[in-house]
Structure 1
Amino acid sequence: MQYTKTYDSPLGEILLAADEQGLTGLWFDKEKYFARNLDPEHKRGDPPALKETCRWLDVYFSGREPTFTPPLHIIGTPFQKEVWQILLQIPYGETVTYGDIAHQIASNRGVGEMSAQAVGGAVGHNEISIIIPCHRVVGANGSLTGYAGGVDKKNFLLRLEGADISKFSIPTKGTAIKSEW
């Protein structure tokens, strides 16, 4: 059984979902894949994983790096889980490219190369945004691209973490966002 709760953030309402094992989803209202894997039989509740997630978000949105991770129940394909585990290793306030992650996976697997496009697909389908920090992944050309919650939110989160985003290009409203994936 999944339980849900809403969290009011500086970026608007966030829907949280968890089961007995841990957090299963964290979605910004109206994001691209909003509640995609939410169990239709879910109900409102406040299990320990949701309480811990709210505590983590309180610390995070206060501008501090959380020193703990709420319990996570990561649901996805083996490849997605491999990508998301790499995302969990990206330090607070730092960024990597989709290509960096592809190279790391290729190296881990002992193969010559891995598709940055495939990595982008996995990053984009991350169900636990912010905590699994997909906002820390940027385009090879320095663009803040590819965030299901919206580039404006990605920009906010990176600034909140103190990331040096002066080197990145930020698409303006109405500008088509070119994806490197």
Structure 2
Amino acid sequence: MNNTFYYETIIGKIGIAENGKAITHMYIAERIPEDIHMSETKLLKKANQQLQEYLIGKRKTFDIPLAPRGTEFQQKVWNSLQKIQYGKTNSYKDIAESIGNIKAARAVGMANNKNPIIIFIPCHRVIGANGKLVGYAGGLDVKEKLLEIEKQNESYV
């Protein structure tokens, strides 16, 4: 059974979902799915604890199991996103190169947009080739806040 629970954070209300074994989704409050089972599990509590630690600059990596569902291409992109170091950014082109498909920058952007586990799979660390912040499921203000948290705490922990 899939369980979801919502938590208050410094960036707003966040929903985290799991399938009994791994985290499958993260929702910004405005995107509450209709058919969810609201139940706080041990895994969701652990995910929330790690999220809260990250948001105050006390955590740079996550060690919870993740199980995003997507195409083979999306999985490659999401795996590459998880390799972007805390406090660093990559462009869509950088990600395309990292997965061995240099001409796929636009497709990387689409896969980034479909990332079901934002923050834990750090799509906020992907920026435009010109260095500008572009698109984020949680909104550009949240993306900017996440990058600022990382910038301020890069040398700590």
Identity %: 40
**Residue 110 of structure 2 is aligned to residue 121 of structure 1:** yes
Superposition RMSD on alpha carbons, in Å? 1.7
2:155 alignment partner in structure 1? none
Which of 120, 143, 149 is residue 160 of structure 1 equivalent to? 149
- Is 1:71 matched with 2:65? yes
Q: TM-score, normalised by structure 2?
A: 0.89
Q: In structure 2, how many angstroms separate the alpha carbons of the residues matched to 1:15 and 1:25?
A: 8
Higher mean alpha-carbon deviation, 55-64 vs 135-144, is at 55-64
Letter in 2 for 1:129: I
**Local SS of the residue matching 2:151:** coil
What is the match of residue 53 of structure 2? 59
How does 1:2-151 map onto structure 2 within 5 Å? 2-30=2-30, 34=31, 40=35, 42-106=36-100, 113-151=102-140
> How many Å separate the matches in 1 of 2:82 and 2:71?
16
Tell me the CA shift for residue 64 of structure 1: 2.0
- Structure 1 residues 54 and 64, CA, compared in 2 at 3 Å: closer, same or farther? same
Q: Specify the code of the residue in structure 2 equivalent to 1:159.
A: E
Answer with 5-14 or 56-65: which moved more: 56-65
* Runs of 4 or more above 4 Å deviation: none
Shift of 1:67: 4.6
Q: Following the alignment from structure 2 to structure 1, what is the Cα–Cα distance between the partners of residues 88 and 129?
A: 15
Tell me the number of residue pairs that the alignment of Structure 1 and Structure 2 aligns: 152
**Structure number with higher helix proportion:** 2
Amino acid at match of 1:116: A
Unaligned runs of 5+ in 1: 164-181
Q: Deviations over 1:19-74 (max 9, x none)?
A: 112111112122xxx35xx683x311122321111111121111122454212122
Contact 2:60 2:86 in 1 (8 A): no
Report SS of the residue matched to 1:4. strand
Unaligned stretches of 5+ residues in structure 2 = 153-157
Q: Which amino acid in 2 is paired with 1:13?
A: K
In 1, Cα distance between equivalents of 2:67 and 2:10: 25
Query: CA 1:143–1:114 in structure 2 vs 1: closer, same or farther (change >3 Å)?
Result: same
Q: Which residue of 2 aligns with 1:177?
A: none
